[in-house]
Amino acid sequence: MSHRVAVYRKEHFNAAHRLHNPEWTDKVNQKVFGKCNNPNYHGHNYELVVKVIGDPDPHTGYVMDTKLLSDLIRENVIDKFDHKNLNLDTEEFSLLNPTAENIAIVIYNILRAHIDTRLDLQVRLYETERNFVDYPV
């Protein structure tokens, strides 16, 4: 039996965004994205849950110190996206549509580069309490 444990850390950020595909007309964008296409943006309190999987270290009992995980998320993700306009203020979404799916993939890729490769990683992002995504699955 494996002794692998999943450790989760929850953080949050507040951001504005707009769903829009620049290759489409305004009419098509409005039809596909509805009120999420509002030209002047709207916003969310994003809740981010980061899951790290591995064997607990026998000396500490930690898979990963959640204080370190929290610092890492804040420095690499929260400081970049919190109180920002995702479309206008970030390089990541200057061309990529900031759907919850794409934001989760971007955050995963950012964090993956900072976490020990022996540890598995998954990201959950709540756009609202009723809409959320996991990546990868």
Question: Is residue 101 near its own copies by the rule CB under 8 A?
Answer: yes
* 20 tagged catalytic: no
Site for its own copies in 108-127 (CB under 8 A): none
* # chain residues binding its own copies, by CB under 8 A: 68
**Measured CA distances, 7 to 46, 52, 55 (Å):** 20, 5, 10
Tokens encoding 4: 């692998």
Contact pick of 30, 66, 92, 119 for its own copies (by CB under 8 A)? 66
Q: Is the Cβ–Cβ distance between 132 and 125 less than 8 Å?
A: yes
Question: Is residue 50 near its own copies by the rule CB under 8 A?
Answer: no
> Residue 73: left (phi > 0), alpha (psi -120 to 50), or beta?
alpha
* 114 tagged catalytic: no
3 state DSSP class of 5: strand
Question: Is residue 130 near its own copies by the rule CB under 8 A?
Answer: yes
Q: Which residue has the tokens 């999420």?
A: 36
Binding region for its own copies (CB under 8 A): 1-12, 14-17, 19, 21, 23-24, 32-36, 38, 40-45, 53, 56, 59-63, 65-67, 70, 82-85, 88-89, 96-102, 104-105, 128-137
Residues belonging to the active site: 36, 83, 127
